[in-house]
């Protein structure tokens, strides 16, 4: 039996995109003016390429999604620049007065130019002696949820999905973000302290690219699921292994190499787009 696919389009002005795609088929609206599906027959790769060429410069998320098992039963999500809008380590560096130096290392690690684990040790080492109170200051002044984060997690949970937050960041933040958004579990790294200042070291082993993949694998085994039933989402190179393993691996506003290597990409809009990607309609989305 041949697999069935739909073309999924999400855009701020989806009406304009739909008008360009009238020859591809009739849209089935998931969110009026924002997201629609078009059922099609033919080769998925060729259809996607043709649609992207037709849409041209209009900003839109264009993905081809299998209809079977479209709504996933496990969510494994990165935190920084995926669920929250900032990189906490960079914001700690801002308090220390060395943000440009540390942010440059962060950027290289997220682009996959340097190994995540070594980059994390280097950045944390530069923060040695920073008062522990800076952690709370970043939480209070800088940590903000990306639009749709609470609805994204709540809707998947309401439809039976298990949810796990995995971060190369720090437990000080993941425990709070997980509670705020509604993740059932979280995993991250630990900052070592020297009384009331940062010791400049990280608890070992460091949770990086392979550890995120291992977290996904453990969750699949725990819940008796196949990888095809999982959704993994993130923006950096350390997310790529889990993104490529999951049945729905989403690069969210990701670095170019991650977006190019992932099966699916959301480059416009907020996290509600990942619900539309799974075929949820507006009246099925759980409000935060």
Q: Where a domain ends, among 11, 43, 68?
A: 68
Are 168 and 59 contained in the same domain? no
Binned at pLDDT 50, 70 and 90, residue 287 comes out as confident
All residues at 6 or more sequence positions from 281 whose CB lies less than 8 Å from its CB, including other chains: 30, 31
Closest listed residue to residue 155, CA positions, set 2, 277, 3 = 277
Residues 18-33: what's their mean pLDDT?
94
Are 155 and 187 contained in the same domain? yes
Residue 96 lies in a domain: no
Q: What is the pLDDT of residue 1?
A: 41
Q: What is the pLDDT of residue 122?
A: 95
Q: Is 243 exposed, middle or buried (0-12, 13-18, 19+ CB in 10 A)?
A: buried
Q: Where a domain ends, among 68, 96, 116?
A: 68
Count of structural domains, the chain: 2
264-266 and 248-252: which strand pairing?
parallel
Residue 215 in contact with residue 79, Cβ under 8 Å?
no
Q: Does position 83 have pLDDT exceeding 90, yes or no?
A: yes
Are 61 and 169 contained in the same domain? no
Summarised one tens digit per residue, pLDDT across range 138-167 is: 999 999 999 999 999 999 999 999 999 999
Residue 129 lies in a domain: no
Residue 134 lies in a domain: no
All residues at 6 or more sequence positions from 216 whose CB lies less than 8 Å from its CB, including other chains: 74, 76, 164, 166, 227, 230, 232, 242, 245, 246
Are 163 and 186 contained in the same domain? yes
Mean predicted lDDT score pLDDT of the chain: 95
Summarised one tens digit per residue, pLDDT across range 216-246 is: 999 999 999 999 999 999 999 999 999 999 9
Alpha carbons 30 and 268: distance in angstroms, whole number: 16
Q: Does position 15 have pLDDT exceeding 60, yes or no?
A: yes
Are 78 and 64 contained in the same domain? no
Residue 162 lies in a domain: yes
Alpha carbons 206 and 4: distance in angstroms, whole number: 41
Residue 242 in contact with residue 234, Cβ under 8 Å?
yes
Residue 200 in contact with residue 128, Cβ under 8 Å?
yes
Binned at pLDDT 50, 70 and 90, residue 3 comes out as low
Q: What is the pLDDT of residue 39?
A: 93
Q: What is the pLDDT of residue 288?
A: 66
Beta bridge partners of 233: 77, 250
Residues 1-29: what's their mean pLDDT?
90
**Which percentage of the chain shows pLDDT scores above 90?**
90
Query: Which regions of the chain does DSSP assign to beta strands (E)?
Result: 5-10, 28-31, 35-39, 61-66, 74-77, 162-170, 185-189, 191-194, 197-202, 230-234, 248-252, 264-266
Q: What is the pLDDT of residue 174?
A: 98
Q: What is the pLDDT of residue 256?
A: 87
Residues 163-175: what's their mean pLDDT?
97
Find the domain containing 38 and state its range. Answer: 1-68
More confident: 288 or 190? 190
Are 75 and 64 contained in the same domain? no
Are 39 and 149 contained in the same domain? no
Q: Would you tell me how many other CB atoms lie within 10 Å of the CB of residue 26?
A: 11
Q: What is the pLDDT of residue 41?
A: 82
Q: What is the pLDDT of residue 255?
A: 85
Per DSSP, 84 falls in state B
Nearest-5° angle of CA 248, CA 250, CA 253? Answer: 170
Are 149 and 286 contained in the same domain? yes
Are 53 and 81 contained in the same domain? no
Q: Where a domain ends, among 20, 40, 68?
A: 68
Residue 37 in contact with residue 66, Cβ under 8 Å?
no
Write the CATH number for 54.
3.30.70.1150
Write the CATH number for 216.
3.40.50.1000
Binned at pLDDT 50, 70 and 90, residue 42 comes out as confident
Residue 156 has which token pair? 């998947």
Are 266 and 151 contained in the same domain? yes
Residue 108 lies in a domain: no
230-234 and 74-77: which strand pairing?
parallel
**Which percentage of the chain shows pLDDT scores above 70?**
99
All residues at 6 or more sequence positions from 139 whose CB lies less than 8 Å from its CB, including other chains: 172, 173, 176
Q: Does position 77 have pLDDT exceeding 50, yes or no?
A: yes
Residue 110 lies in a domain: no
Residue 247 in contact with residue 261, Cβ under 8 Å?
no
Q: Is 137 exposed, middle or buried (0-12, 13-18, 19+ CB in 10 A)?
A: middle
Summarised one tens digit per residue, pLDDT across range 95-137 is: 999 999 999 999 999 888 999 999 999 999 999 999 999 999 9
Residue 128 lies in a domain: no
């Amino acid at each position: 039996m041949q697999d069935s696919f739909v073309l999924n389009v999400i855009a701020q002005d989806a009406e304009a995109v739909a008008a360009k795609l009238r020859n591809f088929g009739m849209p089935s609206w998931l969110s009026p003016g924002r997201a629609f599906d078009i059922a099609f027959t033919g080769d998925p790769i060729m259809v996607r390429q043709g649609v992207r060429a037709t849409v041209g410069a209009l900003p839109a998320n264009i993905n081809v999604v299998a209809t079977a098992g479209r709504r996933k039963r496990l969510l494994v999500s990165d935190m920084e620049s995926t669920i929250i809008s900032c990189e906490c380590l960079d914001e700690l560096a801002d308090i220390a007065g060395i943000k440009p130096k540390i942010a440059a290392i962060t950027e290289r690690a997220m682009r996959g130019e340097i190994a995540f684990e070594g980059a994390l040790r280097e950045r944390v080492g530069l923060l040695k002696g920073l008062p522990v109170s800076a952690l709370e200051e970043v939480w209070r002044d800088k940590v903000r949820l990306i639009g749709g984060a609470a609805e994204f997690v709540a809707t998947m949970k309401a439809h039976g999905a298990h949810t796990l937050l995995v971060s190369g960041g720090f437990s000080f933040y993941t425990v709070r973000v997980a509670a705020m958004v509604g993740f059932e579990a979280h995993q991250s790294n630990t900052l070592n302290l020297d009384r009331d200042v940062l010791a400049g070291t990280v608890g070992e082993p460091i949770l990086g690219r392979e550890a995120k993949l291992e977290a996904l694998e453990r969750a699949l085994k725990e819940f008796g699921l196949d990888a095809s039933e999982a959704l993994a989402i993130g923006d950096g190179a350390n997310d790529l292994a889990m993104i490529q393993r999951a049945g729905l691996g989403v690069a969210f506003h990701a670095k170019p190499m991650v977006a190019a290597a992932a099966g699916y990409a959301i480059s416009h809009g907020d996290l509600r787009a990942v619900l539309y990607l799974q075929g949820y309609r507006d009246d099925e989305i759980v409000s935060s």
